[in-house]
Amino acid sequence: MERAIKEEKRVFMTGNEVVAWGALAAEADIMYGYPITPQNEVMHYWTRLAPKHGRKFLQTEDELSAGFTTIGGVLAGRRAFTATAGPGNILLQEPVSMAEMMRLPMVMAIMQRGGPSTATVIYSQQEVNLTTSGGNGEALRIVYSTATHQELYDYTIKAFNAAWKYRFPTFILGDGYQAKMREPLVMYNPQDKGVEMAASEPFVGKEGKFGEGREPAHLRNAFSMEEELYEVVMEHIQDYNKITPQIVEYVSLGCEEADLVIVAHGIVSRAAVAAQEKLRREGYRVGFFRPITLRPFPVRALRKVCKSTSKFLVVESAFGQLARLVKEALFGLEAEMDEIFMPGLGITSEKIIGHVKKKSELKV
């Protein structure tokens, strides 16, 4: 495939465009999609880029179809992806569950919007439950929560590679603010950075005959025997647990010597890290923990933090969706949990700083 990005270059973009360019750099062959705010420009820019770079696009009748056609593309060996938000993410969960059962490398970008239902189009972190565990089955999927345009680019490339390497559905989880906001980033060709690109290959119509040098392509999502299902699902779970340490990513700052750790993900983590830095400068012993992978969650790392600091402040633009993951990770340990939950609203560093100063007896 031709090099879509000729040379490393500083550019100025909106987040949705970054996803389209990241997919281009990741050698995506085709996007299937249905319009929904705030992800529309992922499609708009992909459709402007695709003809210039020999890639393809199909507009489907809804997100259910976008998900299943993405699976179709993947079955044919194409690096296929889709992007959606909110109610579209709900429809997408059925094909994602199928991909999970069949172990298909499906890639999706989600630009979260407010909910429940159609709600607002601009900004929210209320699709964490849905994206990390929305399907039936065991939620064996990878979810990267990004905070900057550079990360949107880096993790879009990574999402394709993780999906094709580990064969689990993989999400890039952004939000409406990241989707629409504008900031600079560096675009590059991943191979030039030494990124190993996981190869894509067809799942059906493979070359040769099964039994003669290759295994049969055995793709199933329906099972008639409970024991048989159990065996297959347990195998998937074992695979998932085995690769978890390789996939898990997080940022931990100043948590070792802290009286309080602020936990946030995605765009809110930018406000949280700014708050942590400012509070530190003022003499407050505050740490910062940000899961980059929401699934698998950095359980081990957070439990380690909890052993030195057991007071947490979870900050999110949702009502406890990140906190649920945090509590599950810390189960059995003694921990105090404070919160700033603002579903569908933006959170500033000033808000977090004010909260910490008012609530805590951490005073210098």
Partner 1 sequence: MSRIIEAYVGEYASGKSENAVNRALDLARQGRKVVLVDLDLVEPFYTLRPLKNKLENMGIEVIAWETKDTFGLGEAGYVIKPEMRWALRRKGDIIFDVGYGVQGFRIFNLVEGALEEENLKIYAVVNISRPLTSSVEDIIAYLNLFGRVDGIINNSHLGELTDKDVIEEGIQVIREVSRITGIPVIAISVEKNLEFLAGKSNFQGFPVRFLERYMPQSLW
Contacting residues toward partner 1, per CB under 8 A: 9-14, 17, 21, 36-38, 41, 44-45, 48-49, 118, 120-123, 177, 180-184, 187, 346
Query: Please, which residue, 60 or 310, has the CB nearer to partner 1?
Result: 60
The strand ranges marked E within 235-331 are 250-253, 260-263, 286-291, 293-295, 311-316
* β-bridge mates for residue 337, sequence order: 312
Cβ 35 to partner 1 shortest distance, Å: 8
* Torsion sign across C-alpha atoms 258, 261, 265, 271: negative
Measured in whole angstroms, the distance separating CA 309 from the mean position of its chain's CA atoms is: 27
For partner 1, give the closer residue by CB, 176 or 291.
176
Smallest distance from partner 1 to CB 252, Å:
26
Work out the angle at residue 201's Cα, subtended by the Cα atoms of residues 198 and 207, and round it to the nearest 5 degrees: 145
- Per 3-state DSSP, the chain is made up of helix, strand and coil in percentages (nearest 5) of 40, 20, 40
Closer of 52 and 358 to partner 1 (Cβ): 52
Element (H, E) at 134: none
Shortest spacing between CB 310 and partner 1, in angstroms: 36
Is there a contact between 361 and 285 (Cβ–Cβ < 8 Å)?
Answer: no
By three-state DSSP, how is residue 239 classified?
A: helix
Instruction: Give me 359's structure tokens.
Output: 């609530």
Of 119 and 219, nearer to partner 1 (C-beta) is 119
Task: Between 123 and 297, name the residue whose CB sits nearer to partner 1.
Answer: 123
Name the residue nearer to partner 1 (CB basis): 119 or 232.
119
Q: Least distance (Å) from partner 1 to the CB of residue 220?
A: 37
Place of tokens 């603010």: 177
How many helices (H) and strands (E) in the chain?
A: 12, 14
CB of 269 to partner 1, least distance (A): 18
Least CB distance to partner 1 at residue 148 (A): 12
